[in-house]
Amino acid sequence: METLFDRRRELLVRAVQAAHERSFWSAFSEVPRTYGEEMPAAAKDAFAELLDRPFDLDQPASEGWVGSEISPFGRALGIAYPRTGIDLLIENAEVAGQGWKAASVEQRTGIALEILVRLNSLSFVMAHAVEQTTGQAFAMAFQAGGPHAQDRGLEAVAYAFEEMARIPGSVTWEKPAGRQAIRLDKEFHVVPRGIGLVIGCATFPTWNSYPALFADLVAGNPVIVKPHPAVVLPLALTVKVGREVLAEQGFDPDVLQIAVDSVDAPVAPSLALHPAVALVDFTGSSEFGSWLRENVRGKPIFTEETGVNTIVIESADSFEAMCQNIAFSLSLYSGQMCTSPQCIFIPEGGISTDDGHKSFAEVAAGIATAIDTLLSEPQRAAVVCGAIQNEATKDRIARARRLGRIVRDSAPLAGFEGGRTATPLILAVDATDEAAYLEERFGPISFVIACRDAADAISRAADAAKAKGGITAALYSTDDTLIDAAALKYVDAGVPLSVNLTGGIYVNQSAAFSDYHVTGANPAGNACLTDAAFVTSRFRVVCVRRPAVA
Amino acid sequence: METLFDRRRELLVRAVQAAHERSFWSAFSEVPRTYGEEMPAAAKDAFAELLDRPFDLDQPASEGWVGSEISPFGRALGIAYPRTGIDLLIENAEVAGQGWKAASVEQRTGIALEILVRLNSLSFVMAHAVEQTTGQAFAMAFQAGGPHAQDRGLEAVAYAFEEMARIPGSVTWEKPAGRQAIRLDKEFHVVPRGIGLVIGCATFPTWNSYPALFADLVAGNPVIVKPHPAVVLPLALTVKVGREVLAEQGFDPDVLQIAVDSVDAPVAPSLALHPAVALVDFTGSSEFGSWLRENVRGKPIFTEETGVNTIVIESADSFEAMCQNIAFSLSLYSGQMCTSPQCIFIPEGGISTDDGHKSFAEVAAGIATAIDTLLSEPQRAAVVCGAIQNEATKDRIARARRLGRIVRDSAPLAGFEGGRTATPLILAVDATDEAAYLEERFGPISFVIACRDAADAISRAADAAKAKGGITAALYSTDDTLIDAAALKYVDAGVPLSVNLTGGIYVNQSAAFSDYHVTGANPAGNACLTDAAFVTSRFRVVCVRRPAVA
């Protein structure tokens, strides 16, 4: 009989190869029309079916039902999820973990791959779920919530599989010792660590959770997914698919569970502290990240936290294209990406460009105008900006207005009366106003910062990443010598650098199988989602050795 | 010009291959005579030259000189080491780290390999240094302190190199996008984490420190080695060799420094807490291991701590050979190995053997008698037992006598009047006397434990590893079905299992390039010295991307 591993082997082989090469590859199409003509309508219906009723999931509602998701576009989703108690979650995970641990790496990998393929076929429904919880525009919700997230999950599977596959199942160890050799048969057992807790975020619920979720599964750890209470549906759909595949393959579906909670009764701390939880993955605020580090001892903790992303503009060989590119990066999902820029450092004396010298004010105005142009057409503005996930972000925008001179004010999008929307706010400040710009201001809030000169700008950008954390950085310059020297400073600060991006590629974008997302080398997170260190401590190896049969 | 990497490439390639295959391989000969006829005498002289004077090391004695090593065989070594202040150590490491970070992975790997090769040629001097500080017999000090430690260091180099070498230096990323592809040139930079602190132990100063020391170096981290204040010389020699090679290759020797301290003014806590120290490796007591976990936040901590190693005897197809094997394991270095057995679980009703049924008392007596025989000849006894490293171990033996019925008493070795020696103490206890046998009793103290039956014995052994930590476990049985079922329990407890060892292989021995030493899967340590997880978080990857030149 063909196993799932056999069926999906090509996908795995190609993914492992891609993770080595790191040139462009993607397993799951980001082009909606490749999913078939009927898909959009069918998915719309399927999504509508999910609303205003209990979510169909075979987990016990031992502590009742919970769910209060409200779309940032206006409507309450009306979905109730079973709330399974912490002790029961742990107990079920431990029971299910016995069978999962006993499965081979190939079995587990085959199942992980199958889950990803099924999630892929569900990408349109997922797009609705992500759109209506995170506030992403549909196109982005489709790509980031669907194929891009699946690619990231696959990447983690590839890394974890490769690290486990390199361990031989058994060997005969033969040591020369005088006349007679000493011969031992050794079996190497890959053993999981225990229950993996994956704590999701409110903006990229799938993209940021899949790497940990799939790495844990493949390494043999049962997983408890703890979604953000405001953004449950995308991970509930994920867990449902996972449980179905597990059950079909004869495993206890409790290998993968969801812990839905509410804002007033959070369960993440208790789960993270539980002795049976061996691995904690978290995407979210540095505040909870610090809490985890302070309180959760002796377990690997993998985090993606907050940071301050920067752009330095030293000079430009295409001023207009640069302004357009930056305008898009600032507007995309209303600045609610962990990769969105916040600080734009510009020499106070201005910069040289293909369009002549531009003063500091002209550069700032160039970006502001490019945003106005980008968002001038309401439908396009909606596709770029989406909605604001959390009311707190709206409040933050309001408070931020006092932090500097307003270069471009934020405003709601046209045509979204029921929804929570906001275009980018840009504030001009001086480089000395660090209290204003060096704190993460999550949302469509950015600063143009007048610096002494280019060297000062670059130093400040690199130092910001070092001190406050940084997930992305961008630099515009026509001077290759300056770029090379600056690059070393960014490398030193542990922040990925994008240079002179124009056209259809943006600093916000992190490509699967190529970019290392979160370096782990600055305070924006202690872990990369996509390197060997992210997977290698999720399992251990235990050897059983005995005299070889002659 | 031939680089060090070129010169040592074959060694590296073979080591990487061996680490994959995990069948027998060793880079550095453990056979003394292969080091040349003149070596023993020359090394003896060279060692004598080291005594009773300041150690020749180019580190500033900014806080004077320190050193109070006294050989467990009797004499004070009379060596003084420069005590470099903590702030100066950190400052020097940071300065030296700049150049080290800028070196290529190949340069750093070449230097690490060269250091190992030079240490190998110094193995006889190292043997004296290890013997006269740890109390190991010379033959063991030679093997474990020299070639075996070098093999473990090489293994870490191989792992770290492989994990870094898989990251491409640069790629062109080309994403199809309509008419025109998006093309980015990406450079991937391997960046070190920061200063690595390697805290050595008093019994295997080189073997237990080399994996971390070399993994840190290869990954680009400057290293501060903090030896046990009673066992400095082996690591001082190591650091001296390392600094020489670094300087020859044009690097600041402060890439590798030693922090010698004294018992009354320990520096390990301050160093571990220092913000510039990014990685901590520690071998020693669970007490300090716990302190590290409680106090050092947000840094990878790799530990090998204490545990309770076990033997279960269910049946034997060669009773005499089994007793001899166990006798050797208990006697070797007077039980001061992290791999030495402590608990011997035996069914109270006795066992079946090739020599007929043996009662519990007869099994205990068999082991005791085998020890008597092994140690009956004083010269052999000295070679097997060596000396007791620490006076506290002697006290522990004295106190332990009350913990059970004495089956075999401990006694000093004959002919070591000036030295601190002790043969194995064996106590008989009941399985319920957990307070006696379930605490680590470091040194030549072991227990024969009367269990209800074989199943009880196996459960207790596996539970001991789970609860108290275990680095080794052994099982004797003629029943293959029982062995297979038991093996799963040990795997579950995360402890390596050796089955039916007789002849020239012992449970205490952990072979480089094959055995995973410390699984990291039970409380005996959170890290394996010899897997990918031990190396992958010692570096990070930062990408610089820019539009590809057409």
Degrees, nearest 5: CA angle B262-B265-B271: 100
Q: What is the CA radius of gyration of chain A?
A: 25
| CATH number of the domain to which B97 belongs | 3.40.605.10
Q: Is B510 on the interface with A (CB under 8 A)?
A: no
**Region A474-479: what's the mean pLDDT?**
98
> CA-nearest residue of chain A to B175?
A24
Separation of alpha carbons A76 and A70, rounded Å = 4
- Give the distance, in angstroms, between the CA of residue B288 and the centroid of all CA atoms in the same chain: 17
Degrees, nearest 5: CA angle A118-A119-A122: 95
What are the backbone dihedrals phi and psi of residue A78, each rounded to the nearest 5 degrees, phi first? 70, 25
> CA-nearest residue of chain A to B542?
A496
Q: Are residues A287 and A334 in the same domain?
A: no
In a domain, A230, yes or no: yes
If phi > 0 it is left, if psi is from -120 to 50 it is alpha, else beta; for residue B18 that is alpha
For A:138-197, CB contacts with B below 8 A are 163, 166-168, 171-177, 182, 184, 186-189, 191, 193
| Record: contact A21-B515, CB cut-off 8 A | no
Helix (H, G, I), strand (E, B) or coil at B279: strand
> CA-nearest residue of chain B to A514?
B173
pLDDT band, residue A265 (cuts 50/70/90):
very high
What are the backbone dihedrals phi and psi of residue B272, each rounded to the nearest 5 degrees, phi first? -60, -35
In a domain, A340, yes or no: yes
Q: Are residues B218 and B350 in the same domain?
A: no
In a domain, A469, yes or no: yes
Q: Are residues A59 and A122 in the same domain?
A: yes
Amino acid at A248: E
| Record: contact B490-A23, CB cut-off 8 A | no
Q: Extract the tokens encoding A142.
A: 């489709």
Beta-carbon count within 10 A of A128 CB: 24
Name the percent of chain B lying above pLDDT 90. 96
Q: Are strands B65-66 and B315-316 parallel, antiparallel or unpaired?
A: unpaired
The pLDDT of residue B94 is above 80 = yes
For A:5-44, CB contacts with B below 8 A are 20-24
In a domain, A177, yes or no: no
Q: Are residues B57 and B80 in the same domain?
A: yes
Residues of B in contact with A498 (CB under 8 A): 545-546
Torsion of Cα atoms, B364 then B523 then B281 then B190, to 10°: 130
Q: Are residues A271 and A143 in the same domain?
A: yes
Q: Is A359 on the interface with B (CB under 8 A)?
A: no
Residues of A in contact with B533 (CB under 8 A): 533, 536-537, 540
Residues of A in contact with B184 (CB under 8 A): 505
Helices (H), A336-479: 360-374, 378-385, 391-400, 434-437, 454-468
Taking the alpha carbons of A525, A529, A530, A535 in that order, is the dihedral positive or negative? positive
Please name which of A481, A459, A482 lies closest in space to residue A473, comparing C-alpha atoms. A459
User: Which of A298, A501, A541 lies closest to B531 in CB terms?
Assistant: A541
| CATH number of the domain to which B432 belongs | 3.40.309.10
Domain boundary among A262, A284, A305: A305
Domain that includes residue B390, residue range: 310-499
Please name which of A59, A526, A546, A2 lies closest in space to residue A249, comparing C-alpha atoms. A2
Amino acid at B69: E
Q: Are residues B232 and B358 in the same domain?
A: no
Residues of A in contact with B172 (CB under 8 A): 23
Degrees, nearest 5: CA angle A439-A445-A449: 70
Domain count, chain B: 2
**Region A495-511: what's the mean pLDDT?**
96
Q: Are residues B264 and B352 in the same domain?
A: no
**Mean model confidence pLDDT for chain B:** 97
Shortest CA gap B440–chain A (Å): 20
| Record: contact A499-B24, CB cut-off 8 A | no
Q: Are residues A294 and A356 in the same domain?
A: no
Furthest-apart CA atoms within chain B: distance in Å: 88
Q: What is the structure's pLDDT at A178?
A: 80
The pLDDT of residue B351 is above 90 = yes
Q: What is the structure's pLDDT at A104?
A: 96
Q: Is A542 on the interface with B (CB under 8 A)?
A: yes
Contact (Cβ atoms closer than 8 angstroms) between residue A23 and residue B174:
yes
If phi > 0 it is left, if psi is from -120 to 50 it is alpha, else beta; for residue B412 that is beta
In a domain, B517, yes or no: no
Domain boundary among A276, A305, A334: A305
Helix (H, G, I), strand (E, B) or coil at A192: strand
Global ipTM: 0.95
Q: Are residues A259 and A332 in the same domain?
A: no
Furthest-apart CA atoms within chain A: distance in Å: 88
| Record: contact B536-A540, CB cut-off 8 A | no
Q: Are residues B278 and B424 in the same domain?
A: no
Residues of B in contact with A511 (CB under 8 A): 173, 175
Shortest CA gap B502–chain A (Å): 8
Shortest CA gap A54–chain B (Å): 39
For B:57-76, CB contacts with A below 8 A are none
Q: Across the strands, what pairs with B172?
A: B185
| Record: contact A174-B491, CB cut-off 8 A | no
| Record: contact B20-A545, CB cut-off 8 A | no
Q: What is the structure's pLDDT at B550?
A: 67
pLDDT in tens, B395-413: 999 999 999 999 999 999 9
| Angstrom distances, CA of residue B175 to CA of A22, A511, B16, B172, B179 | 12, 10, 34, 10, 11
Q: Is B265 on the interface with A (CB under 8 A)?
A: no
The pLDDT of residue B91 is above 90 = yes
Q: Is A515 on the interface with B (CB under 8 A)?
A: yes
pLDDT in tens, B251-302: 999 999 999 999 999 999 999 999 999 999 999 999 999 999 999 998 999 9
Please name which of B291, B312, B439 lies closest in space to residue B363, comparing C-alpha atoms. B312
Q: Extract the tokens encoding B188.
A: 């991937």
In a domain, A173, yes or no: no
The pLDDT of residue B154 is above 70 = yes
If phi > 0 it is left, if psi is from -120 to 50 it is alpha, else beta; for residue A332 that is beta
Q: Are residues B283 and B355 in the same domain?
A: no
| Record: contact B496-A293, CB cut-off 8 A | no
> CA-nearest residue of chain A to B174?
A24
Q: Are residues A152 and A243 in the same domain?
A: yes
Amino acid at B185: D
What are the backbone dihedrals phi and psi of residue B66, each rounded to the nearest 5 degrees, phi first? -145, 155
Q: Is B528 on the interface with A (CB under 8 A)?
A: yes
| Record: contact A497-B533, CB cut-off 8 A | no
Contact (Cβ atoms closer than 8 angstroms) between residue A453 and residue A479:
no
Shortest CA gap A392–chain B (Å): 29
DSSP state of B265: B
In a domain, A515, yes or no: no
Contact (Cβ atoms closer than 8 angstroms) between residue B469 and residue B305:
yes
**Region B505-530: what's the mean pLDDT?**
93
Q: Is A322 on the interface with B (CB under 8 A)?
A: no
Which of A293-297, A403-407, B128-132 has the lowest average pLDDT? Answer: A293-297
Q: Is B548 on the interface with A (CB under 8 A)?
A: no
The pLDDT of residue A383 is above 90 = yes
**Region A190-210: what's the mean pLDDT?**
97
Overall residue count recorded for chain B in this entry: 550
Q: What is the structure's pLDDT at A550?
A: 66
In a domain, B505, yes or no: no
User: Which of B294, B297, B515 lies closest to A293 in CB terms?
Assistant: B297
**Cβ neighbourhood burial of B480 (10 Å; 0-12, 13-18, 19+):** exposed
Separation of alpha carbons A313 and B179, rounded Å = 29
Separation of alpha carbons B330 and B326, rounded Å = 6
Q: Is A487 on the interface with B (CB under 8 A)?
A: yes
Beta-carbon count within 10 A of A13 CB: 12
